Structure 1
Amino acid sequence: MYKLNREIPVSITLNPDDFTGEDDAFIHMHRHDNKIKELSKIATDNASMVLHAGTSIDRDVGDIISGYFFASNDCSEEEYKRAVLFDELIIESTAMSHNTKRNILFNILNKTSYCSGKEKAKLQADLKRVQEWRNAVAHGSFTIMNKNFEVKLTYQSGGEKVLVLSDEFWVNVEETIEKAEKTLSKILSCILKERGCVQEIGDDPESDKQLESKSELFEKRMNEEFGEGWN
């Protein structure tokens, strides 16, 4: 997964009660210097992943909004220009916050059948969590508790909150992001298919034959260039 080139400051916390004296604390830090550096790098990489995922999901939501209002398989040049201008002036505008885009998205979903029931409720909860994690890693502070190597993230969200960044936490983050991205992709696909912008196998027998012919031609060319088993 793409990692943003962004350093996350990670502080080291020493609890005097964990050590018998300053020498003991110094020896502990020196002995485990590589482990501390490794934990700091993991925190930085994971935080960058969350920031990138938040930006990517925000773009996906914008694509759904734009697609819902403008997607068409036979739009005129003038309609296309209006759609591009809509994206530039509204969807990509700094005035269009993450919360505003989410509100528009769920207003659309409430009036359509692209995503409903438990799936819609789960998406709403997942997007909210991803946004909170994104804000937390962007504005919070990372701390490594030196004796037990526990990594914590302290941030503000209706008061001070603390997350323990365990392996289980990061697995949950990754799964939540993947589920949200998958659902958003499904919604956009439904919109584009409804408007005739995409076609799948089984939609049109004549179109299926053309797709199959193109696929066979492509595979033949690849076999000739790279040999059998290239894929």
Structure 2
Amino acid sequence: MFDGTPAAHLVAAAPLLIATSREHEALIKWLLQLEQAAPSVSWIGSPYALPVLTPMLTRRLDCEIDDSQKVVMRFYDPRILLGLPSALDAHFAPVSAYQTAITQIHAEVARNAKASVREFDRLVEHVLSFCDTGCIAPLLLCLDDRFEAHEAMFSIIHAAESFADEPYIQACLAARPGVIVDAPEWADILLRRIQNNDDSRAVLESLLAKDYAQQNRNAAPCDKQQALLQKA
């Protein structure tokens, strides 16, 4: 992640961004062992592939402190991540706080233990306590077809559905490419639950229609240019 940044010369200490899925059991087992041995692993759930996600995270490395001194924000370090909510102001702290809880949910999913259902519920309730629609997509990205305790997965779904239809369905559409990777069955359940409710289905159709119209507007200049080229 340090490539192309002022900290590029510190490559030996640079964080590594590793893409994995629940199918990579040996890699996940090793990461969990590493996480337990030392504070060296942070988990990220994202619908984006590494070529997109890496520059997004890299841009957030540089920051300035009170005396305008430029420093590296080591948000990737678990020791720093846990302390960020208390260090940031009121505008940013809630977001960091619920992200920490979501990271813990991912860890519970990785452990795949039925005994963690109660912990699941506690973490999900903690995320909901911030009343932030920004948490919907990250919550949905915690879904996993391999997790044996289905009641915990439904706890995530019910939490996401507790928000108003429009922000919830927008988040579903945004997170769907990522959800399908580890939870294609839960992705289908999410869609069916939306379609089976008249109000939710109407919102879904409206959002898809807007997206289709926007795509047509974006494609229109290219289509016109191609038409002119064909006439020429």
Q: Which structure carries more relative contact order (alpha carbon 8 Å, separation 6+)?
A: 1
Larger radius of gyration: 1
Report the TM-score, using the length of structure 2 for normalisation.
0.28
